[in-house]
Amino acid sequence: MASAVAVSSAKRSLRAELKQRLRAMSAEERLRQSRLLAQKVMAHSQYQKSRRISIFLSMQDEVETKEIIQDIFRRGKTCFIPRYQIQSSHMDMVKLASPEEISSLPRTSWNIHQPGEDEVREEALSTGGLDLIFMPGLGFDRHGNRLGRGRGYYDAYLKRCLEQQDVRPYTMALAFREQICLQVPVDENDMKVDEVLYEEPSV
């Protein structure tokens, strides 16, 4: 097992490389892959049978989730979105009333829409948990290892799910091809994802 120092420095350099790769992508290419992934999600049996779904609101360098969010509501599923506490690694998944509501939510310092911290919203774990969690991240490998942005929000939240839910939620990462790595360095706090969706290269 690599030392903690080695892992954290490997993560740092991989994060820098991935950020550079993502910056090099054109807006058209990001949109093209996002659309393709939205189609993959909608055809996915795990998605179709899930009733309570948590999904992230995309930052500029992430797969665009707008189409998936609209589909969640179209199919009458319940949608939860992250509410991060910027000053800590605590995150809740709070209920979204409609896709239209997103644009009116306040923006965080990372320029992501999210409900204000003082606003009372239903939290997923207090009302029955989640069936499916869409995971953001900077990089992924084919074994389900995930490189986040270093704050540990999702790892901590997944641990809470395991403590508070009877059935573990299915975790699905949405990734651009550019985010797929040969191997992502991990430590014992990193939670694997069940499946990484990305555009397979055509043979």
| Binding-site residue set for substrate | 57, 62
Answer whether residue 121 shows pLDDT above 60.
Answer: yes
pLDDT at 122: 95
Residues 76, 17: Cα–Cα separation, whole Å: 39
Answer whether residue 150 shows pLDDT above 60.
Answer: yes
* CATH number assigned to the domain covering 4-197: 3.40.50.10420
Global pTM value: 0.94
pLDDT at 65: 97
For residues 23 and 61, the answer to whether their CB atoms sit within 8 Å is: yes
The closest of 125, 139, 132 to 178, measured between CA atoms, is: 139
For residues 18 and 146, the answer to whether their CB atoms sit within 8 Å is: no
User: β-strands 180-181, 195-197: how paired?
Assistant: unpaired
For residues 160 and 125, the answer to whether their CB atoms sit within 8 Å is: yes
Predicted confidence band of residue 136 (pLDDT cuts 50, 70, 90): very high
| Binding-site residue set | 11-15, 57, 62, 146-154
Predicted confidence band of residue 157 (pLDDT cuts 50, 70, 90): very high
Answer whether residue 2 shows pLDDT above 70.
Answer: no
Mean pLDDT of 138-147: 95
SS3 196: strand
| Binding-site residue set for ATP | 11-15, 146-154
